Structure 1
């Protein structure tokens, strides 16, 4: 190890200092939490953080509901800029299955039944895809790394119920019968053609492909049900079709269960189909019905939490006000725990921006106004600093309500994320071991009721010859990211 300095002192911005004083009486001692980072203990590789703008939410961002060009740019900055926004690095698009764009439907690239699973497909491409083409191109300009295309359903004529909504299964998988025949190969071809349109018509490389969304539910919108057995049955067709089509680099994602427990059940079924698990690059689930609390029992190296939101709470921008599900601090903890308890490599919120009255989005659009929730800044505390390729490293906190995660980025820098769930400020005494880097500048970034990712001044060296480390202060009910 090459050590030049060891102890640093933190000068918090004035707003942070004044905020913290409101939580502490003069006769309360500020506790000190010892945080020990061991960079030689290494866990999952991080792919990043992201959102979706499916179901024509991309069109809402693109001005469909009255958003001006200047505010369209503001929304894009908030979501993807690494200078003024969250710096998100993943975008989840929806592969359409409906016959039109009526309401918020996602239109299919093959809206008309070709006449059977072996008939010549009648593909269409409008170059827009519900404004997802525009959004994807914009996101890539900001540096988004992963473009994940996911299908909520196959087209109606490929399914057992003859409808792209209300459940039903893909014709041809086990335990199904369709008079029209086996549509598995046609559906695989359909998904490949969607990727081809993006690549050849728009110059966009889709990096990840999914064919299910919440297969454990029967919904009135685009939805398709599947067991893990049936998913494995389809993967036996999809994986070789991708490879034969020249898209072997596209990574297959499955299975998008509604919650972590449902995902575990589907995974166990999938694993009974020879070769199915091996065809996947990412195993995915959502956080709705059960939170990410344990790692999946899988040989797949990557797990993503690909959709989660507060769908019931009324729109709220606060970080920590009533302790409600949709507040920013709640989401900071959800992300932190998914990373540390379930070893997720990717964490995606449901919608980035939309016209809504609930907490379903990070950003609310209303005519030509833009309102940003603290949930966005909770994401930013992670996504601005923990970039694709980073590795989560070992860390221990000496106080239970002070939750910590630590990461080493590909450039060798260390990121320490600390959430103080307590109601008093805490001093931090951070020490790093097992790290081959050299301590240079260290900065802090704070989010709480008074700050939205506020940068502090750089730490000043005060001498010492121990392992590298620094001292700081995390205000009550706050999150701080230290960038070493």
Structure 2
């Protein structure tokens, strides 16, 4: 058996060989807006149907520091003429007499599939941004006369319809929707009019090129302004990074980027890569996985739904693609075999089961990073470590260290002016969910040292004195 002195000597020797994580607070990158999720397609209804204790558990997991700490909520702006489960009903489901006629508005159906209720609950728990996005215009406004299976908005480039140009009517509907929410005390900060416009799907969908998106933006922007709304336009939720890049390039070429407030993309068809050529906020607004049901942090099969996989996905979004915000698809959903939710719920038994993917998101949520934080330079000498760092406006610093190797690694955090600081650590892996610890500041307090187990995510949180 090792003596205490010998064991201490081995520990010091290990730290002397520690991988150094170097953080430079003077090298700044993008500003952080937050992380988030959606409960569109009536998943907000499912959450509402839970018993009160279970319902609050889900909401706290999603929107407080007890869980993911999301600060962005993405709602679905409906286009369906009816609302069986899994559809989002329009506020103007019946076609008017003509494209120039006033739309036949109805009150928000079922409080917008309980998205009004969810928005209020999210805001009460500290959500900063509400993003409303339409998957399609109403069918009578489109070339294919249905809100499903793609088709184009009548009146944009190369989309001529016998019924005329429906761009103004669609813009008016979007404004009316924003005003409906305002009447209920909810400000919609960003609004989108497309979802995955490069695809035609059996659910609500509408296709668009960048030029066609520009054709609508130049109608929507003045309509918002004339209504006295400061909601900013988002576009275009491309199904993948390169699909979105193509549409953004078209919008820029046709001089409508000036009317955008937010660039949005998904992570499906092409993995997020090099940053977009824009100074606008950039959010990855939908991404999920579709493999077998999985609660695990790491599997030898390497499932895309593993918690560790999502830790690396989020790291790459911020550190490589320079996003200012990241949103997973559904926050909470019924248990199924597609891994579309971060939390699985059962409205019959009131069970609430978070996945390890949710805990991966928590390391990039408001427990550690607040709105207005700036990503700062962070690097390591180890090929198996992915590291990111964020400086908060209150002087605290968060550093995420992902160990992708099987072996534990000793890490020394090199951050200027650590002396006098408190450095807490938070560990997530197969056996831990944000388990709190304390880093060893070492001799002279120049470096904060900790051990990161294999296949794990460890966050350093530096406060006080720094």
With the length of structure 2 as denominator, give the TM-score of the two structures: 0.92
Select 2:31's aligned residue among 18, 31, 45: 45
Select 1:280's aligned residue among 254, 260, 267: 260
d(CA) in 1 for partners of 2:345 and 2:85? 17
Residue 454 (structure 1) shift: 1.0
User: What residue in structure 2 maps to residue 61 of structure 1?
Assistant: 47
Is contact 1:34-1:430 (8 Å) kept? Answer: yes
1:405 is the counterpart of 2:402: no
d(CA) in 1 for partners of 2:46 and 2:455? 34
User: What residue in structure 1 maps to residue 314 of structure 2?
Assistant: 335
User: What residue in structure 2 maps to residue 346 of structure 1?
Assistant: 325
User: What residue in structure 1 maps to residue 345 of structure 2?
Assistant: 365
User: What residue in structure 2 maps to residue 100 of structure 1?
Assistant: 82
User: What residue in structure 2 maps to residue 11 of structure 1?
Assistant: none
Residue 131 (structure 1) shift: 0.6
d(CA) in 1 for partners of 2:419 and 2:98? 64
1:307 is the counterpart of 2:286: yes
Select 1:259's aligned residue among 240, 252, 256: 240
Is contact 2:22-2:413 (8 Å) kept? Answer: yes
Select 2:129's aligned residue among 124, 146, 158: 146
Is contact 2:238-2:264 (8 Å) kept? Answer: yes
Select 2:151's aligned residue among 164, 168, 172: 168
d(CA) in 1 for partners of 2:100 and 2:431? 61
When the two chains are superposed, the root-mean-square deviation of aligned CA atoms in Å is 1.7
Instruction: Report the secondary structure of 2:45's partner residue.
Output: helix
1:197 is the counterpart of 2:180: yes
Q: Give the 5 Å matches for 1:323-472.
A: 323-357=302-336, 358-366=338-346, 367=348, 368-383=350-365, 384-433=367-416, 439-456=420-437, 458-459=438-439, 461-464=441-444, 468-472=446-450
Q: Could you say if the C-alpha distance between residues 279 and 102 of structure 1 is closer, same or farther in structure 2, counting changes exceeding 3 Å?
A: same
User: What residue in structure 1 maps to residue 275 of structure 2?
Assistant: 295
Residue 461 (structure 1) shift: 4.9
d(CA) in 2 for partners of 1:271 and 1:356? 41
d(CA) in 1 for partners of 2:292 and 2:16? 36
Q: Residue by residue, what CA displacement relative to the aligned partner does 1:352-376 show, whole Å, maximum 9, x if unpaired?
A: 1111312111011223212110000
Residue 103 (structure 1) shift: 2.6
Q: Residue by residue, what CA displacement relative to the aligned partner does 1:181-237 show, whole Å, maximum 9, x if unpaired?
A: 11111111110110000001x100111110000000000100000000000110101
Gap regions ≥5 residues in structure 2 = 1-13
d(CA) in 2 for partners of 1:184 and 1:244? 16
User: What residue in structure 2 maps to residue 8 of structure 1?
Assistant: none
d(CA) in 2 for partners of 1:30 and 1:261? 43
Residue 439 (structure 1) shift: 4.7
Gap regions ≥5 residues in structure 1 = 1-27
Instruction: Report the secondary structure of 2:225's partner residue.
Output: helix
Instruction: Report the secondary structure of 1:181's partner residue.
Output: coil
Select 2:222's aligned residue among 240, 258, 279: 240
d(CA) in 2 for partners of 1:33 and 1:266? 42
User: What residue in structure 2 maps to residue 321 of structure 1?
Assistant: 299
d(CA) in 2 for partners of 1:438 and 1:132? 47
Instruction: Report the secondary structure of 1:133's partner residue.
Output: helix
Is contact 2:41-2:85 (8 Å) kept? Answer: no
d(CA) in 1 for partners of 2:419 and 2:276? 35
Q: Residue by residue, what CA displacement relative to the aligned partner does 1:316-356 show, whole Å, maximum 9, x if unpaired?
A: 10001232110100000000011111000010001011113
Is contact 2:134-2:192 (8 Å) kept? Answer: yes
d(CA) in 1 for partners of 2:257 and 2:280? 11
Select 2:95's aligned residue among 113, 119, 125: 113
1:131 is the counterpart of 2:114: yes
Residue 250 (structure 1) shift: 1.2
Q: Could you say if the C-alpha distance between residues 372 and 31 of structure 1 is closer, same or farther in structure 2, counting changes exceeding 3 Å?
A: farther
Aligned length: 444
Residue 482 (structure 1) shift: 0.6
d(CA) in 1 for partners of 2:310 and 2:18? 25
Residue 431 (structure 1) shift: 1.2
